Chain A
């Protein structure tokens, strides 16, 4: 093949009898677009071999190709630590306290300042400069007793937060000029939100430490990821974007990760049913899922083409109870563990 125009090469690749029936059309173009040396070799072989009429396209079972969207909200906060992790990190902190040099107080607190007075009061009570290891002095005779007893609260994150806030409050009260009013340090927001307490599966504010996925319920009552058939010669990426706007509405700011599907699901009909428009017997449907992230907004099914009934934002743990086992086993490896 000489260096012709791209269009001519594409036509040639379409005319050429396909060597691999299992390869899709765009991939066949890729195979035909190899470097010139191998393309020349390939053209030689095709001219020498007798042209085989391509009959496979007639006998191949026809499937509807769907573009699916796995719309996900990434985790917003850190995950809860396992009990072992809590204990391990706490013990490592105390070991570090035993092995490190004493705190250089003179660098952090100038003598005679209110901060210095406050420090002296606190170190008597706390016995260590570190605020997250409980009452423990690594330099006294009992320093060997560095392990927590069963049921003690020191390693719990809630306890750590509470001690830090109280410490900051007492510092603010001790060093402020105005003694009449008490300083309040705002506590961090709860890791459980209103939606978690109410069990609101439609809110995006639930399960902040997990990835949430959008599942929609079809009018027959089956749960699935949003998906619609590809129309005409649009690409998978375009079809996925159209699917998103036609099922979940426009009120979302989303980003589609890459141009390749992250997974696929094949559904075989029990009996092939005849498509009215083309007259071909459809054996089932193949859905290719594009990975998408939601940045802002919320799903809205009012304008959906498929007359979807309901939607839910679910984590990976909750998804299997909504999906058919076959569907779930096909999509589960796409979903993040957390």
Chain B
């Protein structure tokens, strides 16, 4: 014991710099013996790199003032050839061997280029700075050294071979229903639940009963609220009382948001719309598909509270403003984790919480 103690103190006392490293510091994973030769040593090559970034180096003031692209372009006597100022990406893919290749989609001259992002949403910053680390602390499960988790039964059951017909049969599903639930792994730094996408869906029965105006207004409203183009859907089910036949009537619009758009929508929802709903108890505690996606509905008068609709409310026929279902898809594997995330982001839940 005493020997162990002293060696520990000794190791702490010796500065780290004197301890020889087991591995040479290098950027490449593979090393050859010739790399250590003085002519090829990595440190010599690193000296050639510039230490300062181009953003920090000052630009000479005279050069910055003299630069005026508009007057320079206007002062030109003859127009430049087209190839000097306009690049057109090929319209068709002619294969990898063709000399005219399209630029990558991140290039603004690409036909597939989509601009964005335009901002750093507040809800996203809240998640990154506060919510994620709190969830990590909350979900920590301590396993003492030497702990082995008890072995679980296989998720798919085998046949007991009591009958010769059991041979080569596919495995059975779990007991009490054949739904195979998602596997919930312990939450670590690399799988903290986060919001993946948000879907706004609106079923407009007036579109089938009366005219298509209902669908147009619903589409405009959902588009205004969500900032993405909507998709339309035909009905799958037959509703005789509303005279809706499957596959005939277009009855629903849906918008799916990701990334920046999604966080802006979430911020508006949590801080502007939901607090202004009168006598709203919150999202029902039993909502969820038991794999981490929570859905709730908004009435037409609640959808009208979105700032984008409120700002020109007169342009929407008031009766035609649709209600909608909002689904928050999270990367959580269970509803419990998803509710933890969403309530941390500011969505209230009420009633019996079903996990």
Question: What residues of chain A have their CB less than 8 Å away from a CB belonging to chain B?
Answer: 19-20, 22-24, 27-28, 30-31, 34-35, 37-38, 59, 61, 74-75, 78-79, 81, 83-85, 89, 92-93, 95-96, 99, 107-108, 110, 142, 144-145, 149-151, 211, 257-258, 260, 262, 291, 293, 336-338
Contact = CB atoms under 8 A, between A and B. Distances in A.
B35 interface: no
Contacts of B238: none
Interface of B: 1, 5, 55, 59, 64, 67-70, 73, 85, 108, 113, 115-120, 122, 125-126, 128-130, 133-134, 137-140, 142, 144-148, 150, 220, 312, 314-315
Nearest to B9: A268
Given A75-B125, A110-B314, A151-B64, A92 B118 contact: yes
Given A27-B142, A27-B144, A150-B59, A260 B137 contact: yes
Given A85-B120, A95-B108, A211 B67 contact: no
A93 B122 CA distance: 18
B115 A24 contact: no
B312 A38 contact: no
Contact of B129 (A75, A142, A258): A75
A258 B140 contact: yes
A23 B150 contact: no
Contacts of A150: 59, 64, 67
Contacts of A30: 144, 147
Given A75-B126, A79-B120, A89-B118, 11 more contacts: A27-B144, A38-B148, A74-B126, A96-B115, A99-B113, A107-B312, A142-B70, A151-B64, A257-B138, A258-B139, A336-B130
Contacts of B73: 145
B129 A93 contact: no
The SS class assigned to the B binding surface is: loop
Contacts of A108: 312, 315
Cβ-closest 4 pairs across A and B? A27-B144, A35-B150, A96-B115, A74-B130
A257 B134 contact: yes
A144 B87 CA distance: 13
Nearest to A338: B129
A96 B118 contact: yes
A140 to B, nearest CB: 12
A293 B148 CA distance: 34
B278 to A, nearest CB: 26
Nearest to B8: A268
Nearest to B116: A92
Given A89-B117, A99-B113, A336-B133, A59 B147 contact: no
A142 to B, nearest CB: 6
Contacts of A257: 134, 137-138
Contacts of A336: 129-130, 133
B146 A20 contact: yes
Contacts of B312: 107-108
A92 B144 contact: no
A34 B147 CA distance: 9
Nearest to B129: A338
A92 B145 contact: no
B70 A145 contact: yes
B138 A59 contact: no
A62 B6 CA distance: 16
A59 B115 contact: no
B137 A20 contact: no
Contacts of A74: 126, 129-130
Nearest to A262: B137
Contacts of B150: 34-35, 37-38
A38 B138 CA distance: 29
Contacts of B146: 19-20, 23, 31
